[in-house]
């Protein structure tokens, strides 16, 4: 019986196996590069969509320009930008970015390049709950909250006059009842209440003209020129320490002056569009110019 020498055959199979293994390893390197590129593009699309949404729903043209500029500034390609209506007209922006990425080792498999792309959508919506609000309540009947579009931005005076005996439009925005220390009120002015403040709920009055305290007055003086977020109410019930405000939304206000002496408190400045932190919800009434922006599927 004649035995054949199979050493050469084994050598050929080994070479083929190694070549295939090396090709697959090289392809994995390319795939990893493409994945990183897609991840980078996703970050650019997310950020561009969030930036553009800040101009919605009022100005889609400006929103598209902001998104395109943001993508460019962050090293991304020119994006495709589209809009749609979800809850408000033109409240949702979608940003798509893509680019060709070369195949280096993948050329062994005749893959010269691949198209890598990512898409992100962001929506501007009304607040169902706001975060970082200040404790001064604004009556819905305030003239600057009656114009179209809301709000009017002319200089105005917010009078912290009595709504009832002992009630000076200072709200326990944390949902508590009774008196709140002036140090806490001052902190709410400086930083806003860090909890969520849901809409369409009753909030107890904080009795007393505490705007004349050093903590509150000092905080207001430090916030001159800043935007504050104030709760807007449409109704009250009770009186004095038992008075409650029915909060229906929030309004942004740029504070330019403050006077809180005795029982007379005044905040000067103007209303403004305000992008707040909080939760979005279905619109149930006027936005008063305050919105929140979030990524959506």
pLDDT-derived band at 102, boundaries 50, 70, 90: confident
Q: What single string gives the DSSP state of each residue in 147-171? A: SSSSPP-S-EEEE---SBTTB-SBB
Sign of CA dihedral 103, 106, 108, 111: negative
Q: Are 163 and 176 a contacting pair, CB within 8 Å? A: no
Domain boundaries, the chain: 7-124, 128-296
**Contact by Cβ (8 Å): 119, 45:** yes
Q: Which residues contact 119 (CB under 8 A, 6 or more apart)?
A: 45, 94, 95, 96, 97
Binning pLDDT at 50, 70 and 90, where does residue 32 land? confident
Angle CA 100–105–107, to nearest 5: 70
Mean pLDDT of the chain: 88
User: pTM value?
Assistant: 0.82
Quick count: other Cβ atoms within 10 Å of Cβ 32? 10
Question: Could you tell me which of 292, 271, 279, 293 has the C-alpha nearest to residue 150?
Answer: 271
Tell me: the pLDDT tens digits for 173-187? Answer: 999 988 889 999 999
> Which pLDDT value is given to residue 21?
52
d(C-alpha 113, C-alpha 30), whole Å? 10
Q: Which residue has the higher pLDDT, 105 or 264?
A: 264
Residue partners of 138: CB distance under 8 A and separation at least 6: 145, 158, 169, 230, 231, 232, 233, 251, 253
**Residue 115, pLDDT above cutoff 90:** no
């Amino acid at each position: 019986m004649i035995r054949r020498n199979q050493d050469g055959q084994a050598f050929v199979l080994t070479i083929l196996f190694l070549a295939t293994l090396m090709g697959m390893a090289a392809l994995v390197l390319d795939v990893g590069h493409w994945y990183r590129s897609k991840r980078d593009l996703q970050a650019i699309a997310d950020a561009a969509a969030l930036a553009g949404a800040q101009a919605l729903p009022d100005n889609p043209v400006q929103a598209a320009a902001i998104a395109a500029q943001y993508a460019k500034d962050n090293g991304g390609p020119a994006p495709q930008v589209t809009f749609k209506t979800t809850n408000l007209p033109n409240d949702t922006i979608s940003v798509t970015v893509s680019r060709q990425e070369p195949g280096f080792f993948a050329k062994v498999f005749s893959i010269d390049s691949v198209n890598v792309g990512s898409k992100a959508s962001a929506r501007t919506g009304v607040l169902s709950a706001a975060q970082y609000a200040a404790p001064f309540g604004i009556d819905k009947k305030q003239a600057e909250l009656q114009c179209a579009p809301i709000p009017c931005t002319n200089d105005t005076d917010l009078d912290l006059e009595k709504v009832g005996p002992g009630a000076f439009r200072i709200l326990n925005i944390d949902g508590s009842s009774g008196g709140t220390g002036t140090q806490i009120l001052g902190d709410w002015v400086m930083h806003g209440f860090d909890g969520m403040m849901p809409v369409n709920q009753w909030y107890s009055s904080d009795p007393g003209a505490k705007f004349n305290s050093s903590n509150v007055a000092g905080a207001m003086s430090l916030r001159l020129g800043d935007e504050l977020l104030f709760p807007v109410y449409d109704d009250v019930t009770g009186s004095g320490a038992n008075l409650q405000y029915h909060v229906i939304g929030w309004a942004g206000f740029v504070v330019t002056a403050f006077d809180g002496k005795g029982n007379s408190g005044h905040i000067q400045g103007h209303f403004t569009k305000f992008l707040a932190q909080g939760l979005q919800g279905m619109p149930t009434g006027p936005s008063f110019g305050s919105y929140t922006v979030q990524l959506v599927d």
